[in-house]
Amino acid sequence: MSHQESAIKATYFSLIGNAGLALTKGLAGFFGNSYALIADAIESTTDIFASFLVLFGLKYSNKPADENHPYGHGRAEPLITFIVVGFLITSATIIAYESIMNIQKPHDLPKSWTLIVLGIIIIWKEYSFRKVMQKGIETNSSSLKADAWHHRSDAVTSVAAFVGISIAILFGKGYESADDWAALFASGFILYNSYLIFRPALGEIMDEHLYDDLISDIRQVSHKVDGVIDTEKCFIRKAGMKYHVDLHATVDANITVKEGHDIAHLLKDTLRKEIPQLGHVLIHIEPNEN
């Protein structure tokens, strides 16, 4: 299975899971008198739309290069990640606002059975986070990692809801708002996660240098290629699931232009074979004067 297929499969997993959980949380929150659960349902609903965006981004970013996009369409993926972050910030703002409003209003205690629902949700969302994050790492997909953090933030909001409902049930009348305070805390955590998701996507768009380990691998592979004496500059930029490389390779100064050209092609082919996540590889030949 290709990286793209694996990432798309993980996104469908998120879509189906979020749809089921949004419905479950919404019903449980409504009938169980828990705004923390309803807040959870709001976030899961935004997660559905976010997962659709991730799915679109994955498919679009893996379109082949064309005349107008010689490096492919990979930069669409971090742009989609920015939109996903926007969904997270929006849901956190709505949850915070509604929580503050509810704290000021008297309301019934949450039902004790909502804790069972939350316990199941917490386990499922943590499992979903680990599964989708693993696929995000395997495929080098920033938007899939963002989708994974949606699951983790969902799990944390559920933990907060569990604590809030437990306090409300345990201490009884006068502590009904513990449930709402839990939702307010969860909104803060969602905002914090939004930053964690946004930061690496911004670095990708700005071509930030974050790839020392990959550069080390590139140099190691390059030194095995016949005719390559050493490597000098090596610049990497990420686009979608691929890494584009500009590499300066040192060769014997006395060889012909054609021989240098052949070494450059051999080096390029070897790097792309040994390191499959590489996209475009541009080799600049430097003469060794020693």
Q: What is the pLDDT of residues 123-160, one digit of tens each?
A: 988 888 888 888 888 777 777 777 787 777 778 777 87
Fold of 212-288: Alpha-Beta Plaits (3.30.70)
CA distance 179 to 41: 14
pTM value is 0.66
For position 71, what pLDDT does the model report?
Answer: 76
Q: Sorting pLDDT into bands at 50, 70 and 90, what band is 172?
A: confident
- Residue spans of the domains in the chain: they are 3-205, 212-288
- Say how many C-beta atoms besides its own lie within 10 A of residue 255's C-beta: 16
Q: Sorting pLDDT into bands at 50, 70 and 90, what band is 4?
A: low
CA distance 248 to 284: 5
Give 179 or 284, the one with higher predicted confidence.
Answer: 284
**DSSP string covering 223-286:** TTSTT--EEEEEEEEEETTEEEEEEEEEEETTS-HHHHHHHHHHHHHHHHHHSTTEEEEEEEEE
For position 258, what pLDDT does the model report?
Answer: 93
Which top CATH class is 3-205? mainly alpha
CA distance 79 to 150: 17
pLDDT (tens digit per residue) in 71-126: 777 777 788 888 878 877 887 888 788 778 877 777 666 778 888 888 888 898 88
Task: Give me 127's structure tokens.
Answer: 């499992």
Mean pLDDT of the region 238-256:
88
Helix axes 35-61, 142-171, angle to 10 degrees: 170
- Say how many C-beta atoms besides its own lie within 10 A of residue 63's C-beta: 13
User: What percent of the chain is predicted at pLDDT more than 90?
Assistant: 20
Q: Do domains 3-205 and 212-288 have the same CATH topology?
A: no
